[in-house]
A and B are shown apart, each in its own frame.
Chain A
Amino acid sequence: MTDLRTHLGRLADADDLVTVDERVHWADTAAAVAREAARGNAPAIRLSDTGGRATLVAGAFGGPDRLAVRAREPWARIGAAVGAGHDAGYLDVLDGLAAARRGGSVPERADAPAATAEADLRSLGLPAAGGADAPAITLGVAALPAAAVGDGAVGADAPTRVPDGDRTAPEAAAWVPVRGSVHGSDGLALSVPAPAGRVPAGTRVTVALGAPPAALLGATMRWLGESHTAGAPAIADALRPVPIAPTPAGAVPAGSEVLVEATVSPTPPSGSTAAGRPAGRPAAWERAVPTATLDARATRVRVREDPLIPFSPTGAAMADDRHLLSVAESARLYGRVNNYWGVSPAEWLALPVEAGLGICLVAADVLYAGFEWQLANTLFSFSHLFDKVVIVEAETPPMDLGRAFDDLWVKAHPANDWEFSDPEAPAARAPRYRQDGTTGANVYVDAAWDPQWDEEYIAPRVTFDATYPEEVREAVRDEWHDLGFDHGPEYDPTRRGDGGGGA
């Protein structure tokens, strides 16, 4: 099992976690620290003194950008979280997530959750993150009775709780990502995927904070896209073993740091926003998934000893929620385009966090003339998050955004290789324009070589490997330090020792 504590231990071992002992109050400073840490490519930050009962953790699933050569990759913490390793390659992380969407393992059942100490909601010290003027829930997993979460066909007579005998049955619980805010002593306004927002009043819901990372990813991945996936507990368990434990709303990740048991209310909590939405900015997954607001009243709060609560400064650049969605959605699309034409043309695919998830980069073999059109429009069909696709050469390394965003401008012919659709495409959800759903164009940029070009037209990249004979390269590398230089291969953009970004 990889619970949050284990995950943070791995980050600490990798020197990717810093503890701030200074008082950082949950109400007015914690969110600012998280935002600046994310913006500044900082390690994960543990805030040990926030004025609340919980220790807050910023950046547990974040990471640095790829706009410079850095010692760490942006997906390193998520790689650590799912067991691929803090030093995992990007494709290892994508492959692991893509495979886990099929589920395939059954979670172990625990008698009781690890969180046993009673607590109250207000004393936790949930941070006012993402512009919220109230304590906020940003990286939560909610469990509801699966029978109550249908596809819109569930009636008012749906069960409001999971029967005692099924409370550790993974199929009896629906796990959903949740963002929300706390109003008064026990009022909750929760943003959840739309089907979960239609459960009737009285339905039991358990919000797990500080859930094992695999549960957080599994709950998100279950709701991305229209294709069939396993249930969230099975996805989570396929990533890393996630034992489950009973609550009235159904099974929850047993290792969760905090469990908030609640009952769905027919009316919003007093003090909630006039728009009927939770306070604060939406999390990234809310742009990828239709959502609804669930109003609820907390009835019981249990915590582990010295509870830890990860949070994300939603709406901020490089925030945790963007990282999580970037990897989850990239893995989904990578898996889909490589299982569509009988071959696997995509070497890698990324919705860079750095671009706010509004651009999809895909490194692919252009199989034949016009394949770039097929590939781009397949991606537009599979995801409505973005309306810009950039196709780069398959050999462009995924960590080398510098080269990818060089090719965007220098390889694509501005008259011929920027292809705009007719203006009837659905509005993308990540961008800030046309949020009323007005249709418009999308665009793909073909920054790969034209397969119809003669070989002699293809310009070689200027790289160390491609530019110099082997004997010169070897001599320079071998004598590097003797020549008086200090920086070794770890400074190279691709870490392959040449910094060339591919041959």
Chain B
Amino acid sequence: MTPDSRGAPASDGGTAPADSLRSYLRQLAAVGELNRIDAEVSWNLEASAVTMLANNRDDRVPVFESVGDSPVPARLVGDPYRGSRGRPWDRPARALGLPPDLSGDDYYRAVMDRLRNPIDPIRVDADAAPCKAEIRRGDDVDLLSLPWPYIHAADGGRYSNLHTMVAPDPDSSWTDWSAHRAMIQDGDRASVLLLAGEQTPNLFYYRYERREEPMPVALAVGVEPAAQFTASMWIPTGSDEAAFAGGLKREPIELVECETSDLDVPASAELVVEGRILPGERLDEGPFGDYFGYMHGPRRSMPVLEVDAITHREEPLLPFCVEGSGVGYSSNTTSTTEVACIGPDATLGLRAAGYDVEKCVPWRFTPRSVYVISTDVPRPGYLHELANFIFTTWGMLHVDFFVFVDGDVDPLSTREVLEALALHADPDSDFHQFGAETMPKVPLNIYQTPEEKGDVETGTSKSKTAKAYIDATADGDGSSGPADPAVTDDRRERARSILAEAGVDLDPGGAGG
């Protein structure tokens, strides 16, 4: 299907979803949110510097049409899924064919509805797969012929960090899609950040490597948005990730078989790196400017990807994320997909597990470290049970904190959450599990010393940490005076109407929309 030939409205009020990164970028261009830069830009820090400043300034998404010193005429895209400041879900919504002006609540609802209805993928032949326009194998493989960006000046090397890693379970038909950055080592090798505790790393460390077998993988770079978003989600082990991507897209994802393995990858990919992660071999990885906003080090030993083939489109687009720039007020692809993809997915996951939560939303200023859950508290012990369910079953090696707020507090509004934290979380009784250094942690943190992190074989820190939760629900302590009659919905609506009539542009103060 020709991506740009479609435009019929979807049933939930949007337009057709983008079925490739290219068609998504055309969507952005159509609404003036894309900046195609024709001037030659270097992959060596320049492209990422431009992208970081665009992220910081909430400016348009850059596409670098002319990248110097690149034998393959590939292009770079800087943080393509970064949402706009204040409404981080607007670009993901557009990519999925949802109206970009949805409120936060409506967006979460729409994404959860789609995830509830997976659609099986379809297989296409190689000649129908755009990612097979160029095929390079054996001696023709050269990672260094592509303009992988050098992202931060102190990084250990050049990276591919916005791809979908496809890896199979050796004992079943299940295939995991996930996101693990790869540092380019030479023409046919990369070191891949695999941290035990996550699904694909566990497959490698505890199945393939213990059997001394290589793990076949494919890095699908620049896949269609629904596939990209799914790779960032916590899809249960054994589930077909491609079907969830199809559900998100409301159309089947087209898959195509790899050239050198029987793995299926999204046919829409801009580029696919096929290879094997080798047992017992390690190469340096890092340091890297990481998602929490700091350079993370020291350099560590990580498993080695040996590349067998590279296939790609004509003039492929290589998307990348300037990690570390998505903290505080600024967004990037990681922080956006946290709020726009992982949040709805986590909310749905908790509900499926029997916890009737309102919403689960990542803290806006800090990707992957703290989540806020709005929920009623139906019984004593509920929050403890909920916290421990999450910490133990979701492989929470990145997330250290959960903050629970009442069901009528909007976790998308940082202000409402801050106020709940300040005024309802009693240090005497509402801060739990702080100080208990018993739980695992990835070394991607800055509060452990290099000695505490160590350099253990499976990637997790040598030392343990605490996983804590804060009960910022009111517990009936909310009395601060008489109920305010100004707070009725009618009054509020009337007041907002008066202000709008006077030309006042109201900002909700958070991302609540």
Contacts and interface: CB of A to CB of B under 8 A. Distances in A.
Contacts of A492: 56-57
A432 B365 contact: no
Interface in A470-494: 472-473, 475-477, 479-480, 482-489, 491-493
Contacts of B498: 20, 22, 24, 29, 33
B31 interface: no
Interface in A349-381: 352, 354-359
B49 A467 contact: yes
Nearest to B325: A462
Contacts of B426: 431, 433-434, 440
A315 B478 CA distance: 11
Interface string B413-433: 011101101111011110100
- The prevalent SS among residues of A at the interface is loop
Interface string A26-40: 001101111111011
Interface stretch (B200-208, B247-255, B461-469): B461-469
A388 B509 contact: no
Contacts of A403: 293, 327-328, 365
A433 B468 contact: no
A130 B421 contact: no
A387 B427 contact: yes
B479 A432 contact: yes
B401 A410 contact: no
Interface stretch (B125-133, B187-195, B341-349, B441-449): B441-449
Interface stretch (B13-21, B160-168, B169-177, B499-507): B499-507
A432 B435 contact: no
Given A423-B428, A432-B424, A131 B294 contact: no
A171 interface: no
A484 B37 contact: yes
Contacts of A336: none
A414 B401 contact: yes
A499 B504 contact: no
B57 A485 contact: yes
Contacts of A499: 53, 55-57, 329-330
A461 B295 CA distance: 6
A435 B477 contact: yes
A400 B328 contact: yes
A158 B320 CA distance: 76
B153 interface: yes
Interface stretch (A61-69, A94-102, A228-236, A261-269): A61-69
A414 B510 contact: no
A67 B510 contact: yes
Contact of B484 (A131, A432, A483, A493): A131
Given A37-B499, A432-B479, A472-B45, A317 B52 contact: no
A415 B436 contact: yes
A145 to B, nearest CB: 30
Interface string A385-415: 0111000000000001011011001111111
Contact of B49 (A36, A415, A472): A472
B297 A459 contact: yes
Contact of B499 (A20, A128, A281, A400): A20
B35 interface: yes
A69 B85 contact: yes
A194 to B, nearest CB: 19
Contact of A413 (B295, B297, B429, B448): B448
B153 A469 contact: yes
Contacts of B475: 433
B491 to A, nearest CB: 4
B82 interface: no
A341 interface: no
Contact of A45 (B39, B467, B478, B504): B504
Nearest to A454: B449
A340 to B, nearest CB: 24
Given A28-B491, A488-B57, A499-B330, A131 B482 contact: yes
B50 A434 contact: no
B46 A476 contact: yes
B52 A406 contact: no
B152 interface: yes
Contacts, number: 352
Nearest to A423: B428
A461 B152 CA distance: 11
A54 B328 CA distance: 42
A417 interface: yes
Interface in B473-497: 474-475, 477-487, 491-492, 494-496
A352 B418 contact: yes
A70 B506 CA distance: 13
B508 interface: yes
A409 B329 contact: no
B85 A355 contact: no
A318 interface: yes
A317 B492 CA distance: 14
Interface in A432-473: 432-435, 440-443, 453, 456-457, 459-462, 464, 467-469, 472-473
Interface string B346-377: 00000000000000000111100110000000
A37 B501 CA distance: 13
A355 B477 contact: no
A42 B495 CA distance: 12
A493 B37 CA distance: 24
B218 interface: no
B481 A131 contact: yes
B415 to A, nearest CB: 5
A36 B501 contact: no
A282 interface: yes
B259 interface: no
Contacts of B35: 483-485
Nearest to B330: A499
Given A41-B506, A411-B446, A457-B449, 4 more contacts: A20-B501, A37-B499, A410-B445, A499-B55
- What are the 9 closest A-B residue pairs judged by CB atoms, nearest first? A499-B56, A462-B324, A358-B422, A440-B428, A40-B506, A402-B328, A281-B481, A131-B484, A32-B486
Interface of A: 18-22, 24, 28-29, 31-37, 39-43, 45, 64-65, 67-70, 128-133, 279-282, 313-318, 352, 354-359, 386-388, 400, 402-403, 405-406, 409-418, 420-421, 423, 430-435, 440-443, 453, 456-457, 459-462, 464, 467-469, 472-473, 475-477, 479-480, 482-489, 491-493, 498-501
23 contacts: A20-B498, A35-B487, A36-B492, A67-B415, A68-B509, A131-B485, A317-B419, A355-B423, A358-B419, A400-B329, A402-B364, A414-B435, A432-B479, A442-B427, A459-B294, A461-B295, A467-B52, A479-B39, A483-B39, A485-B54, A487-B57, A487-B58, A501-B328
